Structure 1
């Protein structure tokens, strides 16, 4: 009968059922979240596989694509997986299959691919109709015992077939091959490890179930990525990551300096970090070269064939290769951080973040369950066979009578059961005996098989009765895996090594990443900053916004740090390379750093390491500070001089000399030894000169032997020698005497 086209009866209503939107959304989103977590994103801790990978392995087993068999088209495998087990897009299944075959993506490939399966440059695989595949030895280890009732099965999506809930997993796949995925509200990220090391740790854990994690790390040194590389983390960081199940690993490319003779050399990169596409990496370095962000690097060449060989040509032979590489590590994916988040489906059901020990324990418990189930399955098979063999032996002992019953009786089966107390299965087996099996030799073979199976039955029963024997069997199974994937095999050799990151000064690295060029830093009265290319000799041609004018200008290099001192006693540090260019009027300093609105710039200069500065406030307080101590690492700056309103920071001068000359707004000058001024990293300082009214006008540090100099408004220079300064020389914090004749009316030394 066809579908009715008549609408439902009205019955006075509109046939619309009201639904609570909040509850409906919660139910549907929860169902989606659970589906994503359980059936897509998180791996099972027991076999380390997500459902799509497990279904691919199962389908390949059904297609008999064993390592010793021929290859099959990938399109056929994908069709089998999609049609029977995984009702999703064929491309997503093929992508998962391709990744399992890539030796640069998977530490121990589960698929042996034939054809173009992509490369480390980021090129994709050929279409599935062109490529072929079969299983590897790792895949057969994961499937070992699947036909022996080792795991549960469940109906497929259309309930026409069955699929395994989990694989037997004789190989420690979760940690050996790692996994990554993003679910709803949670994610997982597990790096690959060395299978032989995992087996050693598992064997130790079987003998010492209460072993602390530190003892396991004697074997499991850390991740072992398929692309090699060097992990530059301390043992303490690695241990903490494995204890908590959360952390990360800094992974660097492996490189070496290649001598070309006559003092010339290049750097050759032979291994790049895991997950980095070589083509994109080289493209990024080339872009940085064009942008002049790598002044130590001249050129980059990709000379890779089967192995990776990326050649880095330095700017000159005097470049430090370590510094060159540190600048590249900082700016490019030659150094990456691989996160660790061991969030897995514990016991196949509960999402949980496990430690390294927890993962190994759950894998071993799964291996124990598989062993018990396989043993019980084998025991049932043996009992069935022994039952049949017992019937055969009765038949051979009474062969003439059996033949007579079969020939003469209407119901020979029931007669035999009644005569010799046989079971239904035994009677059926006797009736199905061929005449050729009645020879004397056959009886001997049956007795031999009966005895052998009886002995095997006794040993399996003993195994099932003893937990100790079960763990001994698991140890033997794990040691077989260790032998097959040991460090002496090609696939089992450790590829990733460990080292401490070189101790390189961050300032040196920062400078190595900046092209060294001369600039002129210009600062206006209203706090606008800019850097003009080259060292300008004449500042009179500089233009400013209306109502603004030049405050100060000085020469620097793009590699310099510019220190800015404000009236609030704060120092700000700005890289000369970060200053806005000379076009226009620049930018206000408050855009570049977090400077308070009520503060103004006192002075600015290029940082000179090792120098000392004399800071002085308007109220006549001051102290010495090492210039290295005032460098700020953040936009907020560094508070160095403590001042309270109405006082404010007034001067910052280099402490080059042995005497201090200070002038007040009352035109009184005082000269005293620099040694009387304390050195401190932060504070208000001590009184430098006492004032009845007003405050400090200017301060200068000079050498007594050379005398005190100043310039007047006509740019004439006046110098007073030591003997002429006696009258103004006194102790620090005194009032001083009226300035000498010829001192500028501005009250400034220059």
Structure 2
């Protein structure tokens, strides 16, 4: 053991404010996420993990024409050499590059089960094989010619490219999505032929406007096809700002079955929609009768998508049926556009279409210049060797004599023929069979060809116009390989204006019938046909009992108000029947376990409701402001909700747990859409073991008629003169009238 004393922690500690320490560390994490994980590079359209996968496959010599290798081997090489993260994440990223329903131009050629449009996961990495696709080879064309910078890998033992040369604008061709810290990106795939046409136009007209480029790139081109229903103005605005959205619909056609029968066949679904979940949603719509004109859905898909929709009757208009399904299913979805990318691999920026194309073209010019300079260096080295060879041929006998007799032929040849060290080494390493006359002619031909190539490259480097002309030629070559002349290059997504078909009113198609809705104390709900007596004997589960009972109709929207201050909406026609015990209400709405039901009633347009919290705060809310559109409900009252009652009279009567009652005009209550409200009644706060007083109940009264409440024996008592309890809102009130119910409830 060392005799040195241990280091005192106090001497090795640096004090700094906690906010600064956390801020600096979080900023470091944020920058790492933005630059090294979530956002793509505008130049090659790749994130680091995808770039490393392609480069590792290139190092494994997995060319498009070569053999496949196990995905586990590829994943292991990527993880061990370049990307020290989980193998599952790497394999998932590689699998997506091979999915033709996810990538418009797949970069990996997969063999085996790489998942499907139903949402099934790929097989394990040990069962699948892969190699590079031809598109990926184009992205890495020129990588060995010093076209891009390289950097050390994570442990410094190898090097990896900072960016790929990218022979085509992969960012727009294949799109990208990711979520970073405080920012996100979402770029749809496009047709490569159209994108290259826009690049060629931008080369020809550098100051071209985004709107002009948008006429060449008509819109996204999704690998799953579909129809984009947006106007040209909207698409142009999205590309001009780099933000927006595209409405994408499924492609369908009507099939005639004879004798007036027909069915709808969906052949293409929106991008990134899982077919299995789409069909489950359509089946759920049939079961819950949310689209009564839809009778059945079948999945007859094989390699192609084929979803069959059967109408309820032959008189149904197919356009209106599809319009109704667009509203309630993923047969139509919105694909958001957010072109947030890394410019030069460093600066995140939301770019317009022109800025993205410009970043790619500037990168291609830099690649072209670097490859040309690399080639010039190679030509210079080769010409030096060729000049040495030619000198040797002119003095062949003397060279042979020097090699045979001199102890140090290298020094003698350098001194006698004024050769360089490189030239002498090349001559000494020359094979004997090369010492024929024909070889001298070939060397002179090669020298003349290299001189011409060098002159051409030097001319190009000196002329910016020639550089852009060379880039245009290269883009045209890529367009010939992957453009519209090939089956894969044809546009798959059609673009059209939104139609004017009005969807049917589903509520109007529901047959109007009376219902009796029963909600138990434990939250089990059911509906019984007809208006049954609300006090009838009913069966409940053990430990359960009656909670709420009301009369409604099948066309009604049922509103449930919970103690968390949220309103939930349920179509009355979708409630379970009354033969059994019903179903849990929490399966139909997202109601927390700790929240109880405060009120339940049929929604009526134009009504107003008083909502109040147990703390004694409340306000009036319009019926239109409590209708919820989702399962999660609509937050209206902040605080623990106590009651919800329709506005009926001209005054409000409130009573607290302290039995003090206050009556004040309804006009003193504000109308709000959401919030805590105002104080209804003032209570004294409890202290120690005494619980604080809270609101117990509230009701509406007409001052001229007085206040009535039920008594035992079925009698009713009325207090006609409420002058003693009249006051301003937020007052304390006075003790309730003699004979007022002991539970402090008005009814």
Matched, 1:518 2:531: no
Describe how 1:493-532 pairs up with structure 2 within 5 A: 493-505=490-502, 508-511=504-507, 515-519=510-514
Partner in structure 2 of residue 198 of structure 1:
195
Q: Is the 8 A contact 2:117 2:274 kept in 1?
A: yes
CA separation in 2, counterparts of 1:511 and 1:632?
Answer: 18
Which residue of 2 is the match for residue 670 of structure 1?
A: none
How far apart in 1 are the matches of 2:78 and 2:9?
A: 48
Q: Distance in 2 between matches of 1:12 and 1:53?
A: 47
TM-score, L = length of structure 2: 0.72
Aligned-pair distance for 1:409?
2.9
1:385, distance to aligned residue in structure 2 (A): 0.3
Question: Is the contact made by 2:389 and 2:423 (CA closer than 8 Å) also made in structure 1?
Answer: yes
- Structure 2 counterpart of 1:239, from 230, 236, 243: 236
Name the CA distance, whole Å, in 1 between partners of 2:446 and 2:40.
43
Q: 1:206 to 1:7 in 2, by over 3 A?
A: farther
**More displaced, 470-479 or 421-430?**
421-430
Offset, 1:74: 0.8
Shift of 1:510: 4.2
Moved more, 422-431 or 401-410: 401-410
Say which of 131, 146, 154 aligns to 2:128.
131
- State how far apart, in whole Å, the 2-side matches of 1:73 and 1:576 are: 56
The structure-2 alpha-carbon separation of the partners of 1:7 and 1:96, relative to structure 1 and needing over 3 Å to count, comes to farther
2:87 aligns with one of 65, 86, 90: 90
Among candidates 476, 479, 488, match of residue 485 of structure 2: 488
Give the TM-score normalised by the residue count of structure 1. 0.71
1:178-220 Cα deviation digits (max 9, x unpaired)? 0000011111100000000001111111100111112112210
Corresponding residue for 1:307?
A: 304
- Superposed CA offset, 1:432-463 (max 9, x none): 22222111111111111111111111111111
State the secondary structure of the residue aligned to 2:215. coil
Q: Which residue of 1 aligns with 2:176?
A: 179
Distance 1:557 1:88 in 2: 56
Whether 1:59 and 2:63 are equivalent positions in the alignment is: no
Distance in 2, Cα, partners of 1:485 & 1:22? 53
Shift of 1:7: 9.9
- Write the deviation string for residues 142-167 of structure 1: whole angstroms up to 9, x where unpaired: 01111111111000001000100000
Distance 2:477 2:297 in 1: 46
Which position in structure 1 is the counterpart of 2:357? Answer: 360
Residue 129 of structure 1 deviates from its aligned partner by 0.9
Mapped partners of 1:245, 1:462: distance in 2 = 38
Q: How does 1:545-584 map to 2 (within 5 A)?
A: 558=555
- How many Å apart are 1:417 and its aligned residue? 1.9
Q: How does 1:658-737 map to 2 (within 5 A)?
A: none
Match of 1:118 among 112, 115, 120: 115
Q: Distance in 2 between matches of 1:406 and 1:509?
A: 100
Q: Is 1:298 aligned to residue 295 of structure 2?
A: yes
Pairs within 5 Å for 1:191-340:
191-340=188-337
Quick check: 1:122–1:279 contact (8 Å CA) kept in 2? yes
How many Å apart are 1:361 and its aligned residue? 0.8
CA displacement at 1:586 relative to structure 2:
6.9
Query: 1:574: Cα distance to partner?
Result: 12
CA offset at residue 596 of structure 1?
Answer: 5.8
The match for 1:387 is 384
Q: How far does residue 410 in structure 1 lie from its aligned partner after superposition?
A: 3.0
What is the CA deviation profile of residues 561-585 of structure 1, one whole-angstrom value per residue up to 9, with x for unaligned ones?
Answer: 99xxxxxxxxxx9988699999999
Task: Give yes or no for the alignment of 1:341 onto 2:338.
Answer: yes
For residues 205-263 of structure 1, the C-alpha deviation after alignment (integer angstroms, 9 at most, x for no partner) is: 11001111121122100000000011111111111110010111111111111111111
Q: Kindly indicate whether the alpha-carbon contact (under 8 Å) linking 2:341 and 2:351 is maintained by their aligned counterparts in 1.
A: yes
Q: How many angstroms apart in 2 are the aligned matches of 1:7 and 1:326?
A: 84
Matched, 1:418 2:415: yes
- Whether contact under 8 Å (1:594, 1:636) holds in the other structure is no
Q: How far apart are the structure 2 equivalents of 1:501 and 1:279?
A: 27
**Residue 407 of structure 1, aligned match among 397, 401, 404:** 404
Q: How far does the alpha carbon of each residue in 1:708-738 deviate from its partner, in whole angstroms, 9 at most, with x for none?
A: xxxxxxxxxxxxxxxxxxxxxxxxxxxxxxx
Q: CA RMSD in A?
A: 3.6
Asked if 1:30 is matched to 2:43, the reply is no
Q: Structure 1 residues 172, 594: CA separation in 2 closer, same or farther (over 3 Å shift)? A: farther
C-alpha separation in 2, matches of 1:532 and 1:126: 47
CA contact (8 A) 1:519 1:558 kept: no
- State the 1:533 CA deviation: 6.7
Q: Is the 8 A contact 2:516 2:529 kept in 1?
A: no
Could you tell me whether the CA contact under 8 Å between 1:293 and 1:515 is conserved in 2?
Answer: no
- The 8 Å contact of residues 519 and 531 in structure 1, kept in 2 or not, is answered as no
Q: Deviations over 1:495-541 (max 9, x none)?
A: 101123332336x34437x633323799xxxxxxx9987676x9999
Tell me the residue number matched to 2:459.
462
Q: Corresponding residue for 1:595?
A: 608
Q: Distance in 1 between matches of 2:368 and 2:598?
A: 79
- 1-structure distance, mates of 2:252, 2:4: 76
CA distance in 1, matches of 2:434, 2:383: 17
